[in-house]
Amino acid sequence: MTLTAPSRRSSPAEDTAVVTTSVVVFTIRGRRLELLLVGRRSEPFRGYWNLPGGNVLPEEDLQVCAERKLREKAGVEGVYLEQLYTFGRPDRDPRGRVVTVAYYALVPPSRLRQPAAADAGMVGWFALDGLPALAFDHGEIVGQAHRRLVAKLDYSTIAYQFMPEAFTLSQLQGVYESILGEPLDKRNFRKRVLGLGHLVETGTVCRDGSHRPAKLYRLRNPRTVEIIK
């Protein structure tokens, strides 16, 4: 069987496998982990929601395709993007053999945009714990992406990809809790993150109403996701 990535196909051919990318786009709003979904206008699964993605164009790199779909549907670029897994079960698409290389992206809330008028009603953000029915095997893809994200909290600085340039420890803890879906002990959390040496004090504070001013921090190396040893 030959893997191909045509730019124009009505349906997968019987003697080839179409190669696509699917992107799980995560953000955090209102202390909820949310992801971007696109409504399907045609069969199969018309009226269902699915992950943004599509065919890999001829001569197009897999990651370039994922970045293109992220840009087209979420309107963002230059955010954290990581390859997740390849899903190739023969019956995953009723039209024929379709292999999708899944990615997940982390988008800070400050980078979000409203969908264009043409996409209104067909592109939306949904809480992870309140997803609608998903097309194909996209529920499985979402589940695996969330498990990867949770696992990487323990050994990397991946959570910081959701943060603005300067943030408080309470805001950072809120991100961890949103991803994990459970509260964390405040004292233990602060002791751990400060002990890792990845944070730098900015010398400024955040004043939030009547609460005591909180120190603002920044990540020492904001452009990379570092492994915690």
Residue keyed to tokens 């390859």: 83
CA distance 23 to 145: 10
Mean pLDDT of 77-84: 95
Is residue 92 a contact partner of residue 40, using CB atoms and an 8 Å limit?
Answer: no
Q: Which of 114, 165, 107, 130 is nearest to 49 (CA)?
A: 130
pLDDT value, residue 157:
95
pLDDT value, residue 13:
47
Pairs from 183-189 (Cβ < 8 Å, separation ≥ 24)? none
pLDDT value, residue 103:
98
* CA dihedral over 214, 203, 191, 177, signed as positive or negative: positive
pLDDT at 9 over 50: no
pLDDT at 7 over 70: no
Domain boundaries, the chain: 2-153, 158-219
pLDDT value, residue 210:
66
pLDDT tens per residue across span 29-66:
999 999 999 999 899 999 999 999 999 999 999 999 99
pLDDT tens per residue across span 176-219:
999 999 999 999 999 999 999 999 999 999 887 667 889 999 99
Q: Which fold has domain 158-219?
A: Arc Repressor Mutant, subunit A (1.10.10)
pLDDT value, residue 190:
97
pLDDT at 6 over 50: no
pLDDT tens per residue across span 120-166:
568 889 999 999 999 999 999 999 999 999 999 999 999 999 999 99
pLDDT at 118 over 90: no
Q: Which fold has domain 2-153?
A: Nucleoside Triphosphate Pyrophosphohydrolase (3.90.79)
CA distance 85 to 92: 15
